[in-house]
Amino acid sequence: MTPDELERARHRKLAKIAELGFDPWGQRFDDHLPIREVRELPVPEEGQIGTKVRVAGRIVLKRDQGRVVFLQLRDWTGQVQVFIGKKQVGDTGWALAEALDLGDLLGVDGHFGKTKTGELTVFAQSLTFLAKSLLPPPEKWHGLTDVEQRSRQRYVDLFSNPESLQTFLGRSRVVAAMRRVLADRGFVEVETPTMQAIAGGAAARPFITHHNTLDIDLYLRIAPELYLKRLLVGGMERVFELGRVYRNEGLSRKHNPEFTMLEAYQAYGDYHSMMDLTEALIVGSIEAIDGRFHRPWGESTVDFTPPWPRKSYADLLQEVAGVDIHDDAAIRERAKAAGLDPTRKDHDVVVSELFEEVVEDSLTGPIFVIDYPASICPLTKRKAGDPSVAERFELFVRGMELANAYTELNDPVLQDNLFHKQLAGQKADESMAKVDDDFVRALKHAMPPAGGLGVGIDRLCMLLLDRPNIRDVVLFPLLRPE
RNA sequence: GCCCUCCUAGCUCAAUUGGCAGAGCAGCUGACUCUUAAUCAGCGGGUUGUAGGUUCGAGUCCUACGGGGGGCACCA
Q: State the Cα–Cα distance between residues A421 and A429, nearest whole angstrom.
A: 13
* Residues A294-336 pLDDT 10s: 999 988 899 999 999 999 999 999 998 889 999 988 998 888 8
* pLDDT at res. A242: 97
Estimate in Å the CA A139 to C1' B48 gap, whole number. 20
* pLDDT at res. A335: 87
* Residues A27-66 pLDDT 10s: 999 999 999 999 999 999 877 889 999 999 999 999 999 9
A257 confidence band (pLDDT: 50, 70, 90):
very high
Q: Is the CB of A115 under 7 A from strand B?
A: yes
Q: Smallest CA–C1' separation from A152: which nucleotide?
A: B68
Neighbours of A143 (CB within 10 A): 18
Q: Is the CB of A362 under 7 A from strand B?
A: no
| ipTM associated with this complex | 0.91
* pLDDT at res. A212: 94
CA distances from A18 to A69, A96, A254, A360, A429 (A): 21, 10, 48, 62, 62
A434 confidence band (pLDDT: 50, 70, 90):
confident
Residues 140-169 of A with CB within 7 A of strand B = 140-149, 151
Q: Smallest CA–C1' separation from A394: which nucleotide?
A: B76
Write b or e for each residue in A163-173: b if 16 or more Cβ atoms lie within 10 A of its Cβ, otherwise e: ebbebbebbeb
Q: Smallest CA–C1' separation from A205: which nucleotide?
A: B75
Q: Smallest CA–C1' separation from A146: which nucleotide?
A: B68
Task: With beta carbons less than 8 A apart as the criterion, state whether A443 and A233 touch.
Answer: yes
Q: State the Cα–Cα distance between residues A200 and A11, nearest whole angstrom.
A: 54
Under 8 Å CB-to-CB from A3, ≥6 apart: which residues? none
Between residues A438 and A337, the one the model is more confident about: A438
Q: Is the CB of A213 under 7 A from strand B?
A: no
- Nucleotides on chain B within 7 angstroms of protein Cβ: 1, 9-13, 24-28, 31-39, 44-46, 66-76
Dihedral-angle region of residue A262 (phi above 0 means left; psi in -120 to 50 means alpha; beta otherwise): beta
Identify, with chain letter, the residue nearest to nucleotide B36 (CA–C1').
A119
**What mean pLDDT comes out for the span A369-395?**
92
CA Rg value for chain A: 29
Q: Is the CB of A11 under 7 A from strand B?
A: no
pLDDT cut 90: percent of chain A above it: 76
Q: State the Cα–Cα distance between residues A205 and A430, nearest whole angstrom.
A: 6
Q: State the Cα–Cα distance between residues A165 and A63, nearest whole angstrom.
A: 25
**What mean pLDDT comes out for the span A264-270?**
97
pTM confidence score: 0.93
E strand map for A300-423: 300-303, 310-312, 367-373, 382-383, 386-397, 400-407
Q: Is the CB of A68 under 7 A from strand B?
A: yes
- Three-class DSSP category at A468: coil
Q: Average pLDDT of chain A? A: 92
* pLDDT at res. A423: 66
Residue A83's nearest CA partner among A42, A103, A55, A105 is: A55
Q: Smallest CA–C1' separation from A478: which nucleotide?
A: B68
Write b or e for each residue in A179-213: b if 16 or more Cβ atoms lie within 10 A of its Cβ, otherwise e: eebbeeeebeebebebebebbbbbbbebbeeeeee
Q: Smallest CA–C1' separation from A426: which nucleotide?
A: B76
Q: Smallest CA–C1' separation from A60: which nucleotide?
A: B37
Task: With beta carbons less than 8 A apart as the criterion, state whether A325 and A318 touch.
Answer: yes
* pLDDT at res. A314: 93
Give the DSSP letter string of A99-157. T--TT-EEEEEEEEEE-TT--EEEEEEEEEEEE---SPPSPTTT----HHHHHHTHHHH
Residues 121-140 of A with CB within 7 A of strand B = 121, 135-136, 138-140
Whether residue A429 has pLDDT greater than 60: no
Estimate in Å the CA A246 to C1' B1 gap, whole number. 21
Q: Smallest CA–C1' separation from A357: which nucleotide?
A: B76
Whether residue A369 has pLDDT greater than 80: yes
Residues 400-439 of A with CB within 7 A of strand B = 404, 426-427, 430, 432
Q: Is the CB of A6 under 7 A from strand B?
A: yes
